A and B are shown apart, each in its own frame.
Chain A
Amino acid sequence: MDVEILARVQFAFTVGFHYIYPPLSIGLGLLMVVFEATFIRTGNPEFEKLAKFWTKIFALTFGVGVATGIVMEFEFGTNWATYSRYVGDVFGSALAAEGIFAFALESGFLGILLFGWNRVKPWVHMVSTIGVFFGSMFSAVWIVVANSWQQTPAGFHVVGEGMYARAEITDFWAMVFNPSSVDRLTHVWLGAFLAGAFLVLSVHAYYIVRGRQVELSKKAFKIALVVASVFSLGQLFTGHNSADGVAVNQPAKLAALEGHYPASAPADMYLLGWVNQEEKTVSGIKVPGGLSFLLYYDFDTPVTGLEAFAPEDRPSQVNAVFQFYHGMVAIGMTLIGLSLMGLFFWWRGTLFEKKWLMWVFVWSVLLPQLANQMGWFAAEMGRQPWVVYGLLRTSDAFSAAVTANQLVFSLILFFLVYSLLFALFIYLLNKKIQGGLEHLDHDQSHPRTQAIAQNLIN
């Protein structure tokens, strides 16, 4: 196999694996803040248990996230040297800002979050939890800014030629607020909140059907259900904004998302389908003119299709892009449906009597994870053949110094290590969940509790 394909496979594998964890950190971070704040405000020790329990789960995901994240930062240099030289002037500053503004905040306060329960005042611990949560949110900001610059480059000019050609930054804020940053960042944040909320829903639904810590689990479930409902509906807006942006800035990607070939014609929207790349047709269930309507509120407005682009400027895997995109959308709709169903039965007062619904929630944890992965695959494969849209081709971007043998070696190692890591993660996660909250029973004599009690009296 050639170096380009191997390098792409390795990057996709390592980043896909990594991306299981950061959304969980962000989403659980939000809920940890809510739980701990509720505890401090009400002094109800049950919420301290919740905060401590979810902090332990958080620690597990955070650890794997950091370890696999460091790989990503250096993989640009090891595997994409030409890319790194080309974009360093612009892309590097976003990455460095991530390190200094986000990761440092997150990791600095993590120690206190995990080990500081008995060492610092309750409010200092609360501030640390918020610091870690904000750190993870900021981290997403800079990483999405960097990636969005690859999708819709702005605030730069190109200098030099051949091996020495590179993009130089001309306007930092134009780079940060490039045309797709905000749409994509909000979409990513909400996707992360959903990943966290559905993990909390899943675990507490499990406790409820198993009859463990039922009252507390019901409280946690309701909080997470509100979070899930708000943000699954919110994804409709951020998703729609992203698609509008793609239509304007990356028309070839938009055409690939719906498998729309004609150079200029009203475009359909498929609920599900299959793209025949040879015959340039899509078969499936569609809303005729649906894509035109979503973009222009009119079923007959023409949309630029793949044939408007030279074959070498189109994504080569149209069907894959189509499937990933439609999978993501379908899951998004399912999450809205599930959340609203939960709210409905809550309103009727029968939510926790529906065993089957609880079991659906137990397994629903996989859905946001799948949607996050599919969304990124659609975004990144839809950007092809460009690594920086319209500027640098992926086939020109990999490391000339690295051989196929080296790549096979590293790919095998990553595969083995990550498989082991994943198996251990699942094993320990399951163990923590089975271990439950019971052992986190509250110690009334502890100075921390007394301090909080004292605060409430004052």
Chain B
Amino acid sequence: METFLGIDYPTLWFLVVGGLFSGYAILDGFDFGAGAWHLFFRKEEERRVALNAVGPIWDGNEVWLVIGGGALFAGFPVVYATLFSAMYIPFILFLLFIIFRAISIEFRSKEEMAWWRKTWDIAYSVSSIMLAFLLGVVLGNLLTGIAIGPDLSYLGDGLFDFLNPYALMVGLTTLSLFLSHGAIFLLLKTEGQMFERLTQLARAGMIAFMVTFGLTTLYTLLYMPHLSDFFREHPVAFLLPLAVFLSIANVPRLASKRLYLRAFLFSSLTISMLLMLVAFELYPNLLLSSIDPQHDIDIYEAASSQKALGIMLTIAAIGTPLVLGYTAFVYKTFSGKVKLDEHSY
């Protein structure tokens, strides 16, 4: 099997896909969080500021979903196909909420009428909340496992089995994580009264996250022992959960010192480390079977050919610096507090 820096291609590609989805969670995470708080802003101007904080960048953030999806399709077609067809209802809902969120941002400012704007405000906020929640629910199902039988067949009911208690808890945890993340992002973009209000909202978000995260962790340790196998076998890996806890605790510490940029960076770090934790819990599997561990799908069965992975790594090596380059440029152009002008939403 071909390797790069001593890592085999499927593992490398596992890291690439994980990295892309981390990037997506960090970036669209603050979009979703900002959107989820939207109805808490009462004044028209505040809502416009909140919308224009994400206005020039949300589309670029969604690119990470498209690239992540493409990378999963290309790198692990078996997982892409099995996961998306088994989780049909949540993914279809996710796609419809993606549409609603996009058009709410786009259409809201096109009319002056109060009812028009209010309708899109509600659509924007509800879809942001649901997107954050559904992402968490899917993640929860990845951890509990999906009803995969022999020969990649799916044996669940395909309707409501994705709504198991654990997945719901992960859904709420994700939502509260993004609420906190989004509020901190908005703190970087706002001033005055709205800023003061957001300091309270950010605090509420952080508390909600710590509570839900604590409960989910407890539940995982008590009822999902298979997820901590890796850590029991490799005691040194306990450094990662330790780092996660430190990073989580550091966010409110920095926020209370009003160092919001650093708080935002640690909030982003938290998101990526939590996903790393998930990756360690799963590796080398990608999809767990809730029926029989024999039917788990690991990265070696799921991966595309060495040739395809090699090509894709080349594409990623050329493309990633480009994407990071213009993302950085766009963020720099629109950095600082939101200033509304005639081109704003």
Contact = CB atoms under 8 A, between A and B. Distances in A.
A403 interface: yes
A111 interface: yes
Contact of B96 (A131, A399, A413): A413
Contacts of B95: 70-71, 74
A52 to B, nearest CB: 9
A282 B315 CA distance: 49
B83 interface: yes
Contacts of B2: none
B81 A82 contact: yes
Interface in A70-91: 70-71, 73-74, 76-85, 87-91
A296 interface: no
Given A77-B73, A100-B320, A120-B333, A70 B86 contact: no
A96 B333 contact: no
Interface stretch (A165-173, A244-252, A265-273): A165-173
Interface stretch (A60-68, A221-229, A256-264): A60-68
B65 A89 contact: no
Nearest to B59: A107
Interface in A97-128: 97-101, 103-105, 107-112, 114-120
Contacts of A131: 326
B84 A81 contact: yes
B304 interface: yes
B233 interface: no
Contacts of A341: none
Given A117-B343, A400-B154, A168 B307 contact: yes
B31 to A, nearest CB: 13
A183 to B, nearest CB: 24
A434 B326 CA distance: 35
B106 A60 contact: yes
Interface stretch (B97-105, B196-204, B258-266): B97-105
B99 A76 contact: no
Given A73-B69, A101-B319, A78 B305 contact: no
Contacts of A92: 70, 73-75, 77, 80, 304, 308, 312
Most buried by A among B57, B88, B341: B88
A456 interface: no
B78 A85 contact: yes
Contact of B333 (A60, A71, A80, A116): A116
A118 B334 CA distance: 11
Interface string A320-363: 00000000000000000000000000000000000000000000
A283 interface: no
B70 A109 contact: no
Given A88-B80, A89-B77, A66 B152 contact: no
Interface residues of A, number: 76
A428 B77 contact: no
Contacts of A431: 110
A395 interface: no
A276 to B, nearest CB: 39
A92 B154 CA distance: 22
B74 A111 contact: no
B67 A406 contact: no
Contact of B88 (A73, A105, A406): A406
Contact of A59 (B100, B106, B308): B106
Interface string B308-345: 10011001100110110011011001100000010110
B60 A110 contact: yes
A1 interface: no
Contacts of A421: 99, 103
A102 to B, nearest CB: 10
A426 interface: no
Given A85-B81, A168-B304, A431-B110, A73 B66 contact: yes
A403 B326 contact: no
A402 B105 CA distance: 32
A103 B95 CA distance: 18
B293 interface: no
A91 B83 CA distance: 18
A114 B56 contact: yes
B219 to A, nearest CB: 27
Given A78-B85, A120-B333, A413 B92 contact: yes
Pick from B85, B326, B330 the residue with the most CB of A within 10 Å: B85
Contacts of A399: 81, 85, 88
A213 interface: no
Contacts of B75: 92
Contacts of A91: 73
Contacts of B159: 405-406
A401 interface: yes
A111 B70 contact: no
Given A77-B83, A101-B319, A169-B311, A68 B99 contact: yes
A457 interface: no
Given A93-B315, A401-B154, A428-B110, A112 B333 contact: yes
B57 A96 contact: no
Nearest to A69: B66
Contacts of B106: 59-60, 63-64
Which of A88, A403, A431: most chain B Cβ within 10 A?
Answer: A88
A299 B81 CA distance: 48
B67 A76 contact: no
A163 interface: yes
Given A63-B103, A70-B66, A424-B103, A115 B326 contact: no
Contacts of A98: 70
B89 interface: yes
A91 B69 CA distance: 13
Contact of B315 (A63, A96, A114): A96
Contact of B323 (A108, A166, A406): A108
A455 interface: no
B304 A88 contact: yes
Interface string B153-164: 110001100000
A310 interface: no
Interface string B247-265: 0000000000000000000
Contacts of B143: none
A114 B323 CA distance: 19
Interface string A267-297: 0000000000000000000000000000000
A417 B330 contact: no
B91 interface: yes
Contact of B56 (A80, A112, A159): A112
Contacts of B55: 111, 115
Contacts of A83: 81
Q: What 10 A-B pairs are tightest by C-beta distance, nearest first?
A: A88-B77, A92-B74, A77-B84, A111-B56, A96-B70, A100-B319, A401-B154, A399-B85, A81-B81, A84-B81
16 contacts: A67-B103, A73-B69, A80-B81, A87-B77, A88-B76, A95-B70, A95-B73, A97-B315, A108-B327, A110-B59, A118-B343, A163-B151, A406-B158, A410-B88, A414-B96, A417-B100
